[in-house]
Amino acid sequence: MNKKGILLVNLGSPRSTAVNDVKEYLDEFLMDERVIDYRWIFRALLVRGIILKTRPAQSAEAYKTVWTEEGSPLIVITEKIQKKLQKLVDVPVEIGMRYAEPSIETGIQKLVDQGVSEIVLFPLYPQYAMSTTETVVEKAEEVRKKKFPQIKINYIQPFYNRDIYINCLAESIKEKLPENFDALQFSYHGVPERHIYKTDPTKTCNLNDCCSRDENPSHQFCYRHQCYKTTQLVIEKLNLPKEKTIVSFQSRLGKDKWIEPYTDETLETIGKKGIKNLAIVCPAFVSDCLETLEEISVEGKEQFLHGGGENFHYIPCLNDEDRWIEVVKTLCEEKLNDFYLV
């Protein structure tokens, strides 16, 4: 019988806060054609000719504010998830990162070294996007075909609307939500608008009107719709009035049009509109990282307070909460069982 294993894949992180390490990481990340989807020559001119001249030093300073004694928060948390999951399943569990180390190839190699020939690969992103789930699958397939043609990989699909995930997320938020809050803001990572259209093979997406529809062929590929759906399901579970919630998108890069509304602009203005006590959560991430610990809980807090807000409460990601590990276990076991059906 073929031996099975699990590979958990997250975004990745620089190996240290040294400028050269951050530069190496950003080069691999930003040169991915599914992150900055320009032709290679234009992407190289932008990334290596402009961005990498100044951004690594700035990012290195930002990483220093979130780095722990154990290392990068994202790597450390993913390792904790792996160790907890390993105690609950009887197949090997390894981790891989889309960028930097431990790479997807490294993770697959560790499983192969343990005799694994059938892998359940779990991209740790609730919603589907070209720059997250899609690039993980494409990279894994590239590595498999080149280095491990004998293995099979079963991919876990986006779980943004799965009951077990929504219940888990809602319970986590409920426990951390302050008693007195004027609004709960859901801040998702942003993507350029063109990415939404490029990932839609049905060609039925229209950002002006289809995200709010109950059904549309593009929904299984539409990141923006999936963010709004996650939000809708969570606030229904929490029994919150819609007018007490906000959806926004963070981390935009460059001058292209990204999906709106923007988190930073929202934080700068809502205080003047009467929202003085804000809670904010980032459900595009399952693990806290630079984009949550620095961009939101530090920079975002400053923007909100400067804009007239009074109390800012960041709600951490699911990280290695036991209830989240149970969700990971369930989703992995579903795909492990799929191998028996082939």
DSSP letter for each residue of 201-234: TT----TTTSTTSS--GGGGT-HHHHHHHHHHHH
- Rounded to whole angstroms, the Cα distance separating 110 from 123 reads 17
Q: What are phi and psi of 103, to 5 degrees?
A: -75, 170
What average pLDDT does the structure give for the chain? Answer: 96
Reported pTM: 0.96
* CB contact set of 291 (below 8 Å; sequence gap of 6+): 189, 250, 251, 282, 285
- Positions at the binding site: 189, 291
Tens digit of pLDDT for each residue in 171-196? Answer: 999 999 999 999 999 999 999 999 99
- Positions at the binding site for Fe(2+): 189, 291
Average pLDDT over residues 113-141: 97
pLDDT (0 to 100) of residue 324: 98
- Rounded to whole angstroms, the Cα distance separating 36 from 195 reads 10
Instruction: Answer whether residue 340 shows pLDDT above 80.
Output: no
Question: Which helix (DSSP H) or strand (DSSP E) does residue 170 occupy?
Answer: helix 163-176
Angle at 32 between CA 94 and CA 64, to 5 degrees: 70
Average pLDDT over residues 276-289: 98
For residue 134, count other CB atoms closer than 10 A to its CB. 18
* CB contact set of 155 (below 8 Å; sequence gap of 6+): 120, 121, 123, 137, 140, 335
When pLDDT is cut at 50, 70 and 90, the band that residue 1 belongs to is low
- Helix (H) and strand (E) counts in the chain: 13, 8
pLDDT (0 to 100) of residue 182: 97
Q: Hunting for tokens 């400053």 — which residue is that?
A: 302
Angle at 290 between CA 304 and CA 256, to 5 degrees: 75
Tens digit of pLDDT for each residue in 202-258? Answer: 999 988 887 878 888 889 999 999 999 999 999 999 999 999 999 999 999 888 899
- Rounded to whole angstroms, the Cα distance separating 314 from 181 reads 12
Range scoring the smallest mean pLDDT among 6-15, 82-91, 210-219:
210-219
3-state secondary structure of 100: coil
pLDDT (0 to 100) of residue 342: 45
